[in-house]
Amino acid sequence: MGFMTNVCILWNTVYTARALEEMRAEGKKISAADIARLSPLGFEHLNMLGRYSFSLPDLVRDGQLRPLRTPPPAE
């Protein structure tokens, strides 16, 4: 299980960094305190006891990152 945990942590860390870069590029200010509270393990899609499928989209297989998801606007 250690290897899978490390893979998930790396994947989430890469995408978290990308999301922060995109937010900064949009001119949003992100406090160091907020970044300090981020965790690559705090996502419900991690299932440490389940099975994982590693069929990758062509985009990712070619070494690119998949697009970030944009949350719906706050109501």
pLDDT digits (tens, 9 = 90+) for 10-69: 888 898 999 999 999 999 999 999 999 888 776 666 666 766 667 778 888 898 888 888
Q: What is the pTM of this model?
A: 0.61
Structure tokens at 55: 């069929």
Instruction: Report whether 16 contacts 38 (CB < 8 A).
Output: yes
Question: How distant, in Å, are the alpha carbons of 14, 19, 48, 56, 65 from that of 4?
Answer: 15, 23, 8, 16, 19
